[in-house]
């Protein structure tokens, strides 16, 4: 039986430069399981997604500015990667506070590829085990986290994966963990 996310609302926090497949595939998997997803970003309008960081892909409508978002309005959070997306997010005080508060709430958070940069900035990887894109691993270790090279890793409320090649396992695990979380 497929896990149901009916009645759950998932925040997806991203900005321009987000890796297209890391934005679209998790959203699709969550919505197919019954969740409502809302795209949060740094400003209203649209964000420009990319393929492999340099090739423009789709444009996506922003549902809510992260500075206006409340953790209590969401059941889970997804942080997609791409190199410029998390680099911009980690420089925004509203985004960092939202991520810190979300992780601290105990609600589930999915993060892939370069996405953990925002977790590092929010100081929430200390004592946690996760995976990421190779270039982010030193930052995780320096922030007190443990890094493993696995397709998908679950540590308490954090679900992490390394890269777009891990998306099938990542999406399946997001649905499973998000469905099992208490609302």
Assigned domain for 120 exists = yes
Closest alpha carbon to 130 in 106, 156, 104: 156
Assigned domain for 56 exists = yes
Assigned domain for 3 exists = no
> Is residue 113 flagged as an active site residue?
yes
Tens digit of pLDDT for each residue in 12-61? 999 999 999 999 999 999 999 999 999 999 999 999 999 998 999 999 99
Assigned domain for 35 exists = yes
Q: Which residues of 146-164 are buried (b: 16+ CB within 10 A; e: fewer)?
A: ebeeebbbebebbbbbbbb
Whole-number mean pLDDT of the chain?
96
Assigned domain for 138 exists = yes
Assigned domain for 162 exists = yes
pLDDT at residue number 93: 98
pLDDT at residue number 3: 76
Range of the domain at 106: 9-180
Assigned domain for 2 exists = no
Look at the chain and report how many structural domains it folds into: 1
Assigned domain for 123 exists = yes
Q: What CATH number does residue 42 fall under?
A: 3.40.50.880
pTM of the model: 0.97
The alpha carbon dihedral of 22, 65, 11, 101 has a sign of: positive
Tens digit of pLDDT for each residue in 130-166? 999 999 999 999 999 999 999 999 999 999 999 999 9
Tens digit of pLDDT for each residue in 55-81? 999 999 999 999 999 999 999 999 999
pLDDT at residue number 182: 77
pLDDT (mean) for 86-113: 98
Q: Active-site residue among 113, 147, 158, 175?
A: 113
């Amino acid at each position: 039986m497929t896990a149901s996310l009916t009645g759950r609302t998932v925040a997806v926090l991203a900005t321009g430069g987000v890796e297209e497949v890391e934005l679209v595939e998790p959203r699709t998997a969550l919505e197919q399981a019954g969740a409502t997803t809302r795209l949060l970003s740094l400003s209203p309008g649209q964000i420009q997604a990319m393929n492999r960081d340099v090739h423009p892909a789709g444009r996506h409508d922003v549902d809510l500015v992260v500075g206006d978002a409340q953790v209590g309005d969401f059941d889970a959070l997804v942080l997609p990667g791409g190199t410029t997306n998390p680099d911009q997010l980690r420089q925004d005080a509203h985004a960092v506070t939202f991520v810190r508060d979300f992780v601290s709430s105990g609600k589930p958070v999915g993060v892939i590829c370069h996405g953990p940069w925002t977790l590092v900035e929010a100081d929430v990887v200390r004592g946690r085990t996760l995976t990421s894109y190779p270039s982010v691993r030193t930052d995780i270790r320096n922030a007190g986290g443990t890094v493993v090279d696995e397709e998908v890793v679950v540590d308490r409320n954090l679900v992490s994966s390394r890269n777009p090649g891990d998306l099938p396992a990542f999406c399946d695990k997001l649905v499973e963990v998000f469905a099992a979380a208490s609302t």
